[in-house]
């Protein structure tokens, strides 16, 4: 398991930068992190329960809190804070961003939803 060497929030661009000890770096937009939150509210309790979260285009992160030595809790400005982002999950989000983001946009479109707030 690769461990993060730096987690840096750029509030102006709403991007969380994560660097791992194997040299891998990811720039993860707040909107992407919010709609892929590992919380039960978003993921459900099994794969068929995953929610498509709309209206988060302008969401920001207002807090990054350490959870032991294995994760961070992200606090979003829409007050969502129940997701615990393990190092493995942050890496997965970075590695699969090119697949997960278009799938999210497709899910929005198929449900007639928008990234923009209602």
Confidence of residue 30 (pLDDT cuts 50, 70, 90): very high
Confidence of residue 48 (pLDDT cuts 50, 70, 90): confident
47: pLDDT strictly greater than 80: no
CATH number of the domain at 4-110, out of 3.40.630.30, 3.30.2020.30, 1.10.3660.10, 3.40.50.300? 3.30.2020.30
**What per-residue confidence (pLDDT) applies to 62?**
97
- Mind spelling out the 3-state secondary structure of 14-83? CEEEEEECCCCEEEEEHHHHHHCCCCHHHHCCCHHHCCCCCCCCCCCEEEEEEECCCEEEEEECCCCCCC
* Mean pLDDT calculated for residue range 22-40: 96
**What per-residue confidence (pLDDT) applies to 12?**
96
Which sequence spans correspond to the domains of the chain?
Answer: 4-110
């Amino acid at each position: 398991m690769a461990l993060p060497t730096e987690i840096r929030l750029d509030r102006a661009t709403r991007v969380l930068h994560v660097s791992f000890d194997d040299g891998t770096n990811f720039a993860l937009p707040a909107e992407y992190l919010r709609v892929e939150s590992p919380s039960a509210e978003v993921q459900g309790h099994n794969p068929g329960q995953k929610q498509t979260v709309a209206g988060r285009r302008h969401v920001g992160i207002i807090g990054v809190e350490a959870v032991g030595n294995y994760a961070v809790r992200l606090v979003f400005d829409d007050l969502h804070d129940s997701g615990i982002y393990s190092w493995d999950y942050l890496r997965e989000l970075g590695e699969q961003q090119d697949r997960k983001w278009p799938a999210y946009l497709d899910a929005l479109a198929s449900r007639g939803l928008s990234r923009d707030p209602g």
